[in-house]
Amino acid sequence: MSEEKNNGRMSIIVRTIASSVFPFIVIFSFYIIMHGHLTPGGGFQGGSVAASAIVMLIAAYGYRKVDERVKENSLACIESIGAIIFVAVAFVGLFMAASFMYNFLVGSPFFGEIPHGGNTGILNSGGILPILNIAVGLKVMAGLSAVVAVMALSAGEKK
Amino acid sequence: MNLIQQMPAILIGMPLIAAFLTPIIDRVNKKIRNGFVIVVLILEEIFMITLAWHVFTNGIAIYTMGASNPSIVPLQAAVPIRIVLEIDGMSAFMGLISATVCLAAGIYSISFIKEGNGKGKYYTLLLIMLVGMLGMEFTGDLFNLFVFLEILSITSCALIAYRNWYGDAVEGAFKYMVVSNIAALFVLFAIGLLYSRYDLLNIAAISKIMEYGSLEKIALVLLVSAFAMKCGAVPMHFWAPDSYTVAPAPITAILVSASQASLYALFRTCFSLYGNLMDYHSIGIVLILFGLLSMFIGVTMALPQKDIKRLMAYHAVSQTGYMLLGVGVGLYLLGSSNFNTYGVKAMEGGIFHIINHAMYKGLLFLTAGAIFYRLKTRNLNEMGGLAHTMKFTSIFFIIGALAIAGIPPFNGFASKLLIYEACYKVNPILSIIAMLVSILTLASFVKVFHSAFMGPKLHDVEEAPKSLLIGMGILTFVIILFGLFPGWVVNNIVHPAVTALANRIDYINAVMGG
């Protein structure tokens, strides 16, 4: 039961590997979010991958150590901001252009390029879709991490 | 930009963005947050009245999400592209109910829900509940209907369990969650069947090319049973008393209109999706049977209850029976020559009863909440003599009780009279049962009034706080207004809703074009 002795931490091997893998998982999640409009995946999937990185940290370092860096309150705040961005973009379409969720960025220099035929790698396309993906990604990452953090907290209380 | 044209999207989008702003404002200042939520709810009510007025005078309003002109549905080979909101008279009518009840419940919550238990998130969920109801009522798309049904179920479930320090609140929420998940899976399965058959999700588009075969029959049975389950019709009513009882009072009032959103979906399925394609005779009889069972079993279960909110919850089941009876008679007569005479009258009665029920049952639950706020008990045996000090609450309770029992001059009388008259023409037994249930309702509310408000002064309590009184006052105002001018209400609000339901062709043509 070395786990309890170390205050919920796992062995040094696990911790070292978790620390070194962590940035790669986060970058992978950004990749999935940013390519959401081109390849399978998108905001939800990328956000879950980012949340899984935080789950890994909680498993490796114990809840208390992670809690010092990542506050549950700020996660809830980020979650709200993600949702606000999503609905606000939809409302910009309503007030600035034609209708709710209108893709008003098409033709503009920012994400506005719509190439003909297949599109395998031009990130600068899709209009408002990449923005919506980023908003969903933020929300899912913060939301799932908060859920896991609350579960870890309540599991810790029972001990 | 034409504001009226954009109104459907604003009505759904505004509470959604406000819901996520609430927890952030909550960190800054609690008073600003309360004011913000109330302003949003008042704006919502004003916009809803504007939109409803527009729909009642100009006919069906269409809103296509993300189109360059939202009033025109882009069609490609008779397939409508994008999600379409379709607001006809019935949708606008239901939207009015949801917005009004949410406004009253929101104001009521200011004093009723204590600070420090995550009140910011309470308001977030309340606003998302409003989004769910309005979305279900406005949407013209089957899958969108399912999504909003789920949004509504999840937020309701979280709010039923809001006072999670009581064990029974968690139990009630769990029952609600199980029932709404089963219902949602039924709906999803039915949508899957229709989608596999027609490659369409738009209600109007499916309805236009539907042929009534065995697959469609299975889908119809699944949809009818799922929505009847969600609106609390006997024999699927068991979740209603448990979850209505344990939810905070303002949430119970909203839950009543949330159940009515499912009732709306049931009527929409029967009248607009299937309409006269299906065997409306037998489906009408099924609805009438649901109605009779709900009415009778609901009221007989209510009589022996000692818990004030549980008693009212059984009455909610019983009153749902009246709506199912009225509209069921209308469906039974659909297509026959009698439909235009007493079939329409029966539907007017049933649909008028929806708004009346939302108002007086909401009011009664709020008065029960006011008693709970002061006495901390729901047990009728521990109450008594409250009329000595809680004067306004007892007046509101009397008005609500007389309205639910169908005593003139309150609104319950007007709708019940329409139902009695029209059902008598179909079969006198229907009217006799309806009247009997009404008498039993009166008996049970006399009991509640006597044991809670009459008698010597037993408790040293004060009148309920101002925000509770304002919340109850709004609903009382509507009840008295509808009771005094039932003719105007039936002609200008209820009749457009009935014609919208009955005219399936208009519903289809609004999306698919001539």
Q: Give me the pLDDT at residue A118, please.
A: 67
With beta carbons under 8 A apart, name residues in chain B contacting A98.
67-70
Instruction: Name which of B352, B340, B329 is nearest B431 in CA terms.
Output: B329
The answer on pLDDT for B433 being more than 90 is yes
pLDDT in tens, B279-300: 888 999 999 999 999 999 999 9
Rg (CA), chain B: 22
CB B291 within 8 A of CB B322: yes
CA distance A99 to chain B (A): 5
Torsion of CA B212, B215, B218, B224, to 10 degrees: -50
Of A84, A98, A99, Cβ closest to residue B21: A84
Chain B: nearest CA to A80, how far in angstroms?
5
Cβ separation B6–A103 shorter than 8 A: no
Q: Which of B131, B264, B219 is nearest to A90 (CA)?
A: B131
Identity of the residue in B20, B65, B67 whose CB atom sits nearest the CB atom of A84: B20
Q: What is the pLDDT of residue B331?
A: 92
Strand partners, B76: B79
Please give the Cα distance from B202 to B84 (Å, whole number). 8
Nearest CA in chain B to A77: B24
Say if residue B32's pLDDT is above 80: yes
Domain ranges of chain A: 2-158
What is the pLDDT at residue A76?
A: 87
Reduced to 3 states, what is the DSSP secondary structure of residue B163?
A: coil
Q: pLDDT (tens digit, 9 = 90+) per residue, A66-96? A: 888 888 888 889 999 999 999 999 999 888 8
CB crowding A64-100: b at 16 or more within 10 Å, else e: eebbeeeeeeebbebbbbbbbbbbbbbbbbbeeebbb
Token pair for B151: 């949004």
Contact residues, chain A to chain B, C-beta under 8 Å: 76-77, 80-81, 83-84, 87-88, 90-91, 93-95, 97-103
- B-chain CB neighbours of A90 within 8 Å are 13
Q: State the residue for tokens 């005094």.
A: B484
Locate B471 and state its tokens: 């919340």
- Does the pLDDT value for residue A3 go beyond 80? no
Interface contact B24-A99, CB threshold 8 A:
no
Convert the pLDDT of each residue in B415-427 to its tens digit.
Answer: 999 999 999 988 9
For the segment A103-109, the average pLDDT, to the nearest whole number, is 83
Interface touch B9/A99, C-beta < 8 Å:
yes
B438 pLDDT higher than 50: yes
Structure-model confidence comparison of residues B157 and A125, the more confident one: B157
Q: Do A100 and B63 lie within an 8 Å CB cutoff? A: yes
Phi, psi at residue B164, to the nearest 5°?
Answer: -75, 0
Residue B164's pLDDT is 85
Cβ–Cβ under 8 Å, residues B267 and B90: yes
Backbone φ, ψ for residue B65 (5° rounding): -65, 130
Closest CA to B139 of B79, B204, B51: B204
**ipTM beyond 0.90?**
no
- Say yes or no for a CB contact (<8 Å) between A91 and B17: yes
**Under an 8 A CB cutoff, do B24 and A90 touch?**
no
pLDDT of amino acid B339: 87
Q: In Å, how far is A147's CA from the nearest CA of chain B? A: 15
Residues of A in contact with B64 (CB under 8 A): 99
How far B156 CA lies from chain A's nearest CA (Å)? 19
pLDDT of amino acid B1:
62
How far is Cα B313 from Cα B260, in angstroms, rounded to an integer? 14
Nearest chain A residue (CA) to B69: A98
> Which one of A84, A97, A101 has the shortest CB-CB distance to B17?
A84
Alpha-carbon distance B257 to B291, whole Å?
Answer: 18
Consecutive H or E run containing B61: strand B61-64
- Model confidence over B117-147: pLDDT tens digits? 688 889 999 999 999 999 999 999 999 999 9
Cβ B24–A81 below 8 Å, yes or no? yes
Kindly tell me the sign of the dihedral angle through the C-alpha atoms of B376, B380, B384, B390. Answer: positive
What are the sequence ranges of the domains in chain B?
Answer: 3-512
Answer yes or no: do B67 and A102 touch at CB < 8 A.
Answer: yes
Q: What is the DSSP string of B2-50?
A: -HHHHHHHHHHHHHHHHHHHHHHHHHH-HHHHHHHHHHHHHHHHHHHHH
Q: Please indicate whether, in this complex, the C-beta atoms of A76 and B23 are within 8 angstroms of each other.
A: yes
Of A77, A87, A100, the CB nearest to B66: A100
The pTM of this model reads 0.94
Q: A93 contacts in B (CB within 8 Å)? A: 66
DSSP output for A35-46: TTTTSS--HHHH
pLDDT at residue A50, rounded to an integer? 94
Closest-CA residue in chain A for B16? Answer: A87
Q: What are phi and psi of B262, to 5 degrees?
A: -70, -35
Which residue of chain A has the CA closest to B24? A77
- Whether B369 shows a pLDDT value over 70: the answer reads yes
- Angle at which helix B249-268 crosses helix B214-230, to 10 degrees, equals 160
CA B198 – CA B196 distance, rounded (Å): 6
